[in-house]
Amino acid sequence: MALEDELLRQRHDRIAQIEQLGFQPYGHPFEYTHTIPQLIDEYGQRTAEELGNAVHVRIAGRIQRVRRMGKAGFLHLLQNGKSLQIYVKKDAVSETAYKLYELLDIGDIIGVTGYLFRTRTGELSVHVEDLFFLSKILLSLPEKWHGLEDVETRYRQRYLDLIANPDVRDVFVTRSKIIRSLRRQLDAHGFLEVETPMMQPLHGGAVARPFVTHHNTLDIDLYLRIAPELYLKRLVVGGIERVYEINRNFRNEGISTRHNPEFTMLEFYQAYADYKSMIALSKELLHQTAVDATGSSEVTFGERQLDFAQFRQFSMQEAVVEFWPGNDQPTLDNVRDPEWLGKHSRERSPGLALVDIFERHAEGQLFEPTIIYDFPVEVSPLSKNKPDQPDFVERFEIYAAGMEIANAFTELNDPQEQRRRFEMQLSRKAGGDEEAHVMDEDYIRALSYGMPPAGGEGIGIDRLTMILTNSPSIRDVILFPLLRPEGDIGLVQRLQDLAP
RNA sequence: GGGCGCGUAGCUCAAUUGGCAGAGCAAGUGACUCUUAAUCACUAGGUUGUAGGUUCGAUUCCUACCGCGCUCACCA
């Protein structure tokens, strides 16, 4: 018999033994006086004299480590990312409780009552007076001091990662703080949180390939949204002047350390504002979020530091000059010259060429938080033109740690111009650009009722979380990143073989 | 999709030019009533990702496939 089957059988057999002792193998509610983190907070600094064997507690957790010595033993219980030692002594518990103790496996979930004390080496511990069985482990946990290293298993079985690698929990705690901070700040600024469709008859608001699904009753294809933008702006038309949504977007593109097919985006819109208002608001939001999530505006990413209290700022043209990698550094006049642009990029138009050159040469170097503003109109079908430079729009992106983390603009609210932009996109689609924007006549209709001038912005929550948790891959900040299905696991058959 | 790399016991890792697949943890048995990587003794545990090929002999070399990672492309 394979070892794993042997282990499974041993543990499965213990279920009957646990039942014979009068316990349920998959128990019942268990009221505790403290969680383990609470208990450590409250009593972690108390001396043995202060505890005086008089503090009685009732706690629960998963058995993390076991050291048995004859008629006594020490176990560590893990709960909410913290562990606490308990001491079980034959003399100190009932015969039944001691028999239960002898049956325990690493990974079982138990409850205990007892009093707090300090061991000879000074570790805060619970001197157990009674034991309760709450849930049986059948499979083996990862090894105790290397933890779980195999990245595939870490992503597929995140629960094991969370049990074996305490730092992983902290990443997701920080992620939650980031989202909470952004919500709190936007709420304080009078923004209303809403939910708009994830399944859309037209995919708009961004340039990306969509996922397609089908609704049977209506017999129509629907797209998983690539962005909520056009719905949120319909709400601005409807008078919800400050509106935001934090939710998933879906893009049917490549997967990488910076891309997951579903990712979380904050989008917010503010009426009577423009991209300059959005720059000011972004700086404030990101600074405060970094402080709320990490305690400081300065964070370490990889080997380097970045500070969300300080943003550099360049137009896209300036950035190409500033971050040019070679010796033949261009001048600002070069970057404005269609001929020079054409020489340095194979893109069709000067605007597309500028973006291409920027992305190839400058983007990856933007490590400190940096605002890049004034984008070519060709890549910005929903942004308002610059009044003095109609080939450019009032748009900016924020880069940090070499990644784009935000995209914002003055919203285009002229329905005629929006119609022309969509038509421009349609001609690109006809030219073979699969990702070009589609015509959304219903959105044109909404704009035709009049949308107040507005600024809007999207912030990529996953990437922001990467930076604020010093995570090199987006998969480290998404609990269950998309992987290929792994196929037959074989456990169902093995459990069937064990069943009575 | 392209390129590079990885896949050995439940977990973490070894295995010399191609020559008997090993260790620690986890598990079982025994000893041990303040240990904390507990300790000590003994025991068990493997279709080396899958399928082929080369060879007297393959974890090792070759091919294809599966899965994962990095990277390029795409993209945020």
> pLDDT tens for residues A414-458?
999 999 999 988 888 887 777 788 899 999 999 999 999 999 999
The whole-number pLDDT of residue A499 equals 80
Q: Is the CB of A435 under 7 A from strand B?
A: yes
**Span A142-191, pLDDT tens digits:** 988 889 999 999 999 999 999 999 899 999 999 999 999 999 999 999 99
Q: How far is CA A432 from CA A165, A220, A225, A427, A436, in A?
A: 47, 24, 21, 9, 9
| pLDDT over threshold 90, residue A314 | yes
Cα(A338)–Cα(A241) distance, rounded to whole angstroms?
39
In contact, A464 and A405? CB cutoff 8 Å: yes
Distance CA A262, CA A247 (A): 10
Task: Output Rg (C-alpha) for chain A, integer angstroms.
Answer: 29
Does residue A41 have a pLDDT over 80? Answer: yes
Per-residue pLDDT for A313 more than 50?
yes
Residues 227-246 of chain A with CB under 7 A from strand B are none
Name the nucleotide with the smallest C1'–CA separation from A399: B76
At A307, the pLDDT band (50, 70, 90 cuts) reads very high
More confidently predicted of A312 and A427: A312
- Residue A193 CA and nucleotide B33 C1' are separated, in Å, by 60
What is the predicted ipTM? 0.93
Quick: pLDDT tens for A109-123.
999 999 999 999 999
CA of A67 to C1' of B38 (A): 6
A438 touches A429 (CB < 8 A): yes
Chain mean pLDDT for chain A: 94
How long is the CA A143 to C1' B38 vector, in angstroms? 17
pLDDT for position A265: 97
Q: What is chain A's percent helix, strand, coil content, to nearest 5? A: 40, 25, 35
Estimate to the nearest angstrom the gap between the alpha carbon of A384 and the chain centroid: 31
* Residue A197 predicted with pLDDT over 70: yes
Q: Is A291 exposed, middle or buried (0-12, 13-18, 19+ CB in 10 A)?
A: middle
Mutual angle of helices A166-188 and A461-468, in 10-degree steps = 120
- Average pLDDT on A256-269 reads 96
pLDDT at A398: 97
Is the confidence at residue A106, as pLDDT, over 80? yes
Q: Lowest mean pLDDT: which of A86-95, A243-252, A362-371?
A: A362-371
Spatial CA neighbour of A263 closest among A431, A54, A464, A417 = A464
Nucleotide nearest to A434 (CA to C1'): B74
**Rounded distance in angstroms from the CA atom of residue A254 to the C1' atom of nucleotide B2:** 13
Q: What is the pLDDT of residues A332-345, one digit of tens each?
A: 999 999 999 988 88
Nucleotide nearest to A404 (CA to C1'): B76
DSSP string, A330-397: PPHHHHH-HHHHHHH---SSHHHHHHHHIIIIIGGG--S-EEEEEEEGGG-TTBPEETTEEEEEEEEE
- Is any atom of nucleic acid chain B found less than 7 Å from the CB of residue A431? no
Q: Which nucleotides of B are covered by protein (CB under 7 A)?
A: 1, 9-13, 24-28, 31-39, 44-47, 66-76
* Per-residue pLDDT, A138: 94
- What single letter denotes the amino acid at residue A110? I
Residues A126/A110, Cβ–Cβ less than 8 Å:
no
Confidence of residue A207 (pLDDT cuts 50, 70, 90): confident
Question: How high is the pLDDT of residue A3?
Answer: 64
356-375 on A, CB < 7 Å from strand B = 359-360
> Distance (Å) from CA A143 to C1' B21?
22
What pLDDT, on a 0 to 100 scale, did the predictor assign at position A2? 62
Q: How confident is the model at residue A1 (pLDDT cuts 50, 70, 90)?
A: very low
C1' (B29) to CA (A91) span, angstroms: 24
CA(A172)–C1'(B12) in Å? 25
CA→C1' distance for A75 and B12 (Å)? 22
Query: In percent, how much of chain A has pLDDT > 70?
Result: 99
Q: What pLDDT score does A388 carry?
A: 95
Angstrom distance, A225 CA to B75 C1':
15
Asked which of A15-19, A24-28, A155-159, A425-429 is least confident by mean pLDDT, the reply is: A425-429
A102 touches strand B (CB under 7 A): no
- Lowest-confidence region among A265-269, A287-291, A495-499: A495-499
